[in-house]
Chain A
């Protein structure tokens, strides 16, 4: 199962390697080794292939030293080994800029924001969603309002959140909560509504009433689907992270990435992206496995 999932990564990796290591496939640039007679060339500089050919021709005509160089890809496409090295150094050597956070510190910061935001949202969103889905009257009362709020883009609340909650982690967590909560209530209310009505009726004929209908029938009945919903919502929370981390004092993995991009350390950017992907994908895979283990009766699991 996992092997099959990893298999789907092989093809993109192969393409990336081919493009990086076989000069005749793409390599639209030339990395200058010796500038020769060209006054503005510097060693290590990347120039367009046409530009390099033009300059070489000019030098030959003028009888000056020819520049030398090797074909290269643009700066924004580092080779796999460069990214791998960046990944390694990111965890082993101090960051170049003083006071800059280590990669893992940035990551941990981001993960904390996500987890707090998601937990806070779930603490209210899940029960509210279940109640909305179970009792038609509650649903009809609250859902239109939530539906309205859902369409307001979470970033719009950024300035407000900063004004209310200060510039540190408070507003960032708030953005994750706002981005997750409204969807969460609607999705979970919907999941709850899809529970077979006869299960509730069967429970009622067996003497179940009141709160126990929710705790003993509705909740266990929707649990596998609820779990699936939460997995998807957690993925969404990650996308709101970018917005969240750009407001107030920018921080976390987004800060790390924008910093590295500014200094054109694209191998670091890719390393960070890779780690985010691995964490997101890995945790979802793990949660999926956990779901198999937790809900042995769930028959839809074979499809996911």
Chain B
């Protein structure tokens, strides 16, 4: 059985190249506490990692381990309690055009057409209308939505909406694209299409991507490295180099490297000894006082 640490010379070479590039994002001793009426929650504790230019890093971890908190801090939407976040060596203070964000719920502006949504960023940065229009058209072509330029978001399918959201973020030419479970709400087929679409876009741009997911296959398929977080408090468990060579294809999921990586991630996220997230969760799961909604006579098992 191969190990996830075994890498072919090409893959080793590729990682060496990546590490030679400058670190575009640096997270140092990052901590985050939420103070609420019910008390304090430590969402993140002493997170350290760096992401290099044009790297694609996925973040996985159990629910509630602080993935969204982390990415929102990186986006500047949430304040940090301790430590520092540096983009291009400069500390982050508030949202900025150098970091684009794609949300799980699309969050397109419903009152703007598809093109209007994509034009929003350029208009905010002071581009005149016709220039913004041109930029938007170019991006809509890139994500294959030219035909829907004048449609409203509610007239689109989930996959199309997420493509608009990606175009809207990328038209601003950010250095880093932050994505919080962007494909979580899509069906399996659309999701697979969007994954290869994202890889296509990423290949052709000078962009660094930080991608949150709870789908292990998605993480392995997309990522150069995978940041595994553990919960309560959220801490870095491991930062794994994915040994699957590029270019990636869906067929690779049967290869030895892929399966070894998957097995390793599996063992990190669902450790062998039965242990659910919080003590309370464990208690609930342990007692298993789930109410039966079916009639006993129509036994399904």
Residues of A within 8 A of B (CB): 196, 198-199, 201-208, 212, 216-217, 220-221, 223, 295-299
Contacts and interface: CB of A to CB of B under 8 A. Distances in A.
A203 B110 contact: no
A297 B172 contact: no
Nearest to B152: A297
A213 to B, nearest CB: 10
B109 A217 contact: yes
A297 B154 contact: yes
A202 B152 contact: no
Of the four ranges (under 10, 10 to 19, 20 to 34, 35 or more), the interface on chain B belongs to 20 to 34
Interface of A is mostly: helix
18 contacts: A198-B107, A201-B77, A201-B101, A202-B103, A204-B94, A205-B99, A206-B120, A206-B168, A207-B96, A207-B97, A207-B125, A208-B124, A216-B124, A220-B111, A221-B109, A223-B111, A297-B153, A297-B154
Interface string B60-99: 0000000000000001110000000000000000111101
Nearest to B178: A205
A206 B172 contact: yes
Contacts of A296: 152
Given A205-B169, A297-B152, 10 more contacts: A196-B105, A196-B107, A201-B107, A202-B107, A204-B76, A204-B77, A208-B124, A216-B124, A217-B109, A221-B109
Contacts, number: 71
Instruction: Choose among B124, B168, B169 the residue with the greatest number of A CB atoms under 10 Å from its CB.
Output: B124
Contacts of A198: 103, 105, 107
A212 B120 CA distance: 12
A282 B105 CA distance: 39
Contacts of B125: 207
Nearest to A205: B101
B95 A204 contact: yes
Interface in B150-180: 152-154, 168-169, 172
A221 B169 CA distance: 19
Closest 7 A/B residue pairs (Cβ): A198-B107, A206-B121, A205-B101, A204-B95, A207-B124, A220-B111, A297-B152
B234 interface: no
A297 B107 CA distance: 14
Contacts of B153: 297
